Amino acid sequence: MTRELVLASASTARARVLDGAGIAYRRQPASVDEASIKAAQRAAGAGTAAAAVALAAAKANAIAAVNPQALVIGADQILEHDGEWFDKPPDKAAAERQLRVLRGRTHRLVSALCVAGDGRIQWHHVATARLTMRAFTDGFLARYLDSAGPEVLESVGAYRLEGAGVHLFSHIDGDYFTILGLPLLPLLAFLRRRDVVET
C-alpha cells in the first residue's frame, strides 16, 4: 500500500465491510454538523444524492485536513420516504415510531462515498437501494427491537440487514454493500487505480 487509508466513520457496519475485504485502514470518525449541512442542502433544493455527497465530503475533508498524507474515505447515507429524510433514531421509542412509518412501504437508501487527499475530493460515488418492508405485526416489531438491542440506533433505518433486521423486509432492490453504507466494488476499483489495494 502506497498511502495510508483512513475511514472517517464510526460505523461498525462500514468497518466490517472493509475488514471482510481485507483492506488495511485506520478508523478516525469525523465530527461535522450534519444537521446544518442537511438544512443547507434542503434550502438549496438539493436532492438526496447531492446531500449525501455533501455530508460524505465534509467528513472526508475534515479528517484529511489532519492527515495530509492519507487518503480518507468519507461516507454518508440518507433514508428517504415520501420526500422525508430520516435521521438515525436517538432511542428505542424513536426507532419504533420510524419502523411503524416504514412498515408495509418502500423507501430509498442513498449511500455516498467521497475520498479526500492532497487537499481535495479525488473521487466520489453515489448508489441507491430500494427496500420494501413487509406489513409485520406490532408484536413482531416489539420482539425485534428487544432482540436487536441498541445497535439498531447506529443505522439510519433502525435495522441491520446483516442481522435480524432482514426479517423486516419483503423485497430489496439494490446492492448489499450500498445498504450497509459502503458501496464496496466502486471503492475497490478506485483504490486499485491509486495502487492502494493490489491490482
Return the bridge partners of 27, or none: 7
* CA atoms of 62 and 70, how far apart (whole Å): 12
Strands (E), the chain: 5-7, 26-27, 71-81, 84-86, 106-117, 120-133, 169-173
Half-sphere exposure of 61 (CA within 13 A, CB side): 11
Active site residue 76: yes
* CA atoms of 3 and 77, how far apart (whole Å): 26
Catalytic residue among 19, 33, 76, 82: 76
Positions annotated as catalytic residues are 76
